Structure 1
């Protein structure tokens, strides 16, 4: 990897210096900000080396063969192209594909990794991809067109609980990742249709967002299992072998916080 300092490096260095000079931040906040910025910059540099070798096609996992533009609206691109992204869910995702749902609701779809992947893998399904970010929606359109599935996808913005009623009576699977808002949106007391939907929900707990309370609200309608993030083997992927070990680890980094997924199977569908 090149040691040449470019314009992007100078911008990052200037921003780091300005962060350290700020008087409105404590030492801990400064260190955390510097760490996150430095990590993101290095990960971007690693991506610049590896992404061209991946040829814009998902190499492994449940969406193998999907054409995928190397630009992530949110999250990380290398694990998606390598095919190890959220590998903890791969067995669950294969079950979803084999179940031939009529309707897939992807809430917080980013640039369409899951939405387009499901549209390719389940030819009879209509896939709804919702994201509040305009750039994410535009990239979802681009990835759908690359894979020839635009005709079976509906792309939109914000979702509210009343949206779910229109899908009542259909075989529905929901994949949701909306950074904490899932605790407000997914409530069967407000949206009774959810009781019959199978779901995978990434949970983002906080001071007012309790995992057990979320699971308990679906206790009567769903069997629920939690999946927790696990470490990736940096030596398991041949395409990364050209990188030093530290950069291989960075290349496979998906998140800084260990947020779990709730896998909810409706008792009404068994």
Structure 2
């Protein structure tokens, strides 16, 4: 077999393995979701119920139900001062944060932006299921003027979570950030999507610096021994349940206002 054919076969095998792993994660999530009655049992979002359907979070549902999905971000959000009682979610997917923030009772209202029609449908279903539709404001794509949908008094007491798959760099220029300077902002960074990633990161930091202080969060360890639901799972399946399927170590940027 020639070198090109060998290389091609190796690539196909690698893709096949990745697809198989993702399918297994979805199966495990579906199984655990059924066992847990689609209800989060642990963490600040406990008692949130998901509908049977999903748009984005199918592979991550098990970790969400155990309260360990993006645990570092979740804990940091829950640690913000009590003044911040408004939650704004850009790239809300199935509504895990948009609705979970309300379930936690730390936040009194939630603004949810999701570009996908299917995603908005699932968010609305989940809000209705948890009897929180009256506290959730649902919008489509988060454009540069998304903040105009939100009263100024709410912007100045908001936690904003941004997970928009690389569009954070085009959305968050200095003008937009100036309107958000009273908020605490969490940004899931997708800089590796771009060849000029260093330039994009430098520009984002430069635009944010007049208004915010910076800190970074990364994915850390998980303790799976505390969950009785996982005791009978093989080691490999337990760690697949904990996996968030990232292609690299994830980093989030937290921006705290310089002037409060």
TM (norm. structure 2) is 0.85
Other structure's SS at 1:138 match: helix
The aligned counterpart of 2:158 is 172
Could you tell me which runs of 5 or more consecutive residues in structure 1 were left unpaired when the two chains were aligned: 1-22
RMSD value, Cα: 2.3
Match of 1:228 among 201, 218, 243: 218
Higher relative contact order (CA 8 A, sep 6+): 2
Other structure's SS at 1:99 match: coil
Alignment of 1:44-193 (within 5 A): 44-75=26-57, 76-96=60-80, 98-101=82-85, 103-122=86-105, 125-167=108-150, 168-170=152-154, 171-193=157-179
* Contact 1:165-1:191 at 8 Å conserved across structures: no
Q: CA deviation at 1:212?
A: 4.3
The aligned counterpart of 1:243 is 233
Cα distance in 2, alignment partners of residues 225 and 164 from structure 1 = 23
Q: Give the 3 Å change call, closer, same or farther, for CA 190–98 of structure 1 in structure 2.
A: closer
Cα distance in 1, alignment partners of residues 95 and 81 from structure 2 = 16
The aligned counterpart of 1:34 is 16
Cα distance in 1, alignment partners of residues 105 and 153 from structure 2 = 19
* Contact 1:110-1:140 at 8 Å conserved across structures: yes
The aligned counterpart of 2:189 is 203
* Contact 2:46-2:104 at 8 Å conserved across structures: no
Q: Give the 3 Å change call, closer, same or farther, for CA 121–236 of structure 1 in structure 2.
A: closer
Cα distance in 2, alignment partners of residues 62 and 33 from structure 1 = 36
* Contact 1:70-1:77 at 8 Å conserved across structures: no
* Contact 1:225-1:263 at 8 Å conserved across structures: yes
Other structure's SS at 2:110 match: strand
* Contact 1:200-1:261 at 8 Å conserved across structures: yes
1:219 aligns with 2:209: yes
The aligned counterpart of 1:8 is none
Q: CA deviation at 1:174?
A: 0.7
Cα distance in 1, alignment partners of residues 102 and 190 from structure 2 = 26
* Contact 2:46-2:103 at 8 Å conserved across structures: no
Cα distance in 1, alignment partners of residues 171 and 215 from structure 2 = 20
Size of the aligned set, in residue pairs, is: 245
* Contact 1:54-1:82 at 8 Å conserved across structures: no
Q: CA deviation at 1:56?
A: 1.7
Cα distance in 2, alignment partners of residues 82 and 70 from structure 1 = 17
TM (norm. structure 1) is 0.82
The aligned counterpart of 2:254 is 263
Q: CA deviation at 1:214?
A: 2.4
